[in-house]
Amino acid sequence: MEIKLFELAERTDNRGSLVALELGKGVSYDIKRVYYMYQVPSGMTRGFHAHRDLRQLHICVSGSCRIMLDDGEERQEVLLDRPNLGLLLDRPTWREIYDFSPNCVLLVLCDKYHDDEDYIRDYTEFLKLVGKG
């Protein structure tokens, strides 16, 4: 599985650090929806789904969390623990998000508006979609 994890351009000086996200510079698609998760209770796991046709850029802007990614053949874990680190999901990938630190804020930038029909919430259905079931 190819994980698209990359450093976001960061500017740092004596005033602090800044990460700017611009179309064509760190974000390769028009952003239609932005959401973030925070105050996730200790031990809680989120996700348990994939998307049929949605690109998402995940950035942990505060704290840390882990994301298990599954493409139907293999599973890999990604640690998001820096606000200048982005994880791009641009094809059907099952994800489970867990191990949220108490101060975690996970920001997600999407290329489409929310659509319940795009979600795959059944793992067996996901495996069929990716040709592994």
49 labelled catalytic:
yes
| Strand boundaries in 25-131, DSSP class E | 26-27, 33-38, 46-51, 56-62, 65-70, 75-80, 85-89, 94-98, 105-110, 119-120
Catalytic residue, chosen from 49, 51, 58, 114, is 49
Amino acid at 31: I
Q: How far is CA 126 from CA 8, 73, 123, in A?
A: 30, 12, 5
DSSP code at position 128 = H
Q: Which two tokens stand for residue 3?
A: 């994980």
Here the contacts of 18-25 (C-beta below 8 Å, separation 24 or greater) are 19/83, 19/84, 21/57, 21/109
Active-site residues: which are they?
49
